[in-house]
Amino acid sequence: MAVSYNDLFLTILARALREHPRLNASLEEDAIKLWPQIDIGLAVDTDRGLLAPVVRGVERKGLAELAAETTALAQRARMGKCTPDELAGSTFTLTNLGMYGIDAFTPIINLPECAILGVGRIRTQPVWASDHVEPRQMVWLSLTFDHRLVDGGQPRASSSGWRS
């Protein structure tokens, strides 16, 4: 099974969410729920509109397993055959518009999730490296997050409303 850029981004994203668990969270009534498992919705363009089937337990899967699962999920989504369970329960979403030549965009959060990561196209750009310019593959990433859950600062010792 061929590994896609989305599979690589899912793997990297799972590691980042382990390091920053407040981004793998949801707002439930007046409390913030930190999710122990990383279940990432992968946005798929379909004839019926954008769907985000869920890749469950991303943190426990290797690239080959992710590649097989994301290929099957995307195919089922495009054919309109995803089950309700496959479309619900994500803790974070990944959306990629790079294949459409989009460099950067502002993705919309899939509530009740805390955040969504938008991936733009990967392209070669000149980069200054020490004493010379060299070509490198670069990508724009756009993170949209709910400031009610993540304010960008470190949590205070007296903060309340958090549970895991």
The domains of the chain, with CATH numbers, are: 5-147 (3.30.559.10)
Predicted pLDDT of residue 27: 87
Predicted pLDDT of residue 158: 44
Predicted pLDDT of residue 150: 87
Q: What is the mean pLDDT of the chain?
A: 92
Catalogue the active-site residues.
Answer: 147
Predicted pLDDT of residue 156: 54
Residue in the block written with tokens 């007296």? 158
Predicted pLDDT of residue 154: 59
Predicted pLDDT of residue 153: 63
Predicted pLDDT of residue 157: 47
Predicted pLDDT of residue 30: 83
DSSP string covering 98-157, please? Answer: GGGT-----PPP-TTBSEEEEEEEEEEEEEEETTEEEEEEEEEEEEEE-TTT--SSPPPT
Residue in the block written with tokens 């020490």? 130
In the chain, which residues have pLDDT < 50? 157-160
**Encoded amino acid at 84, one letter:** P
A 10 A CB-CB count for 160 gives 9
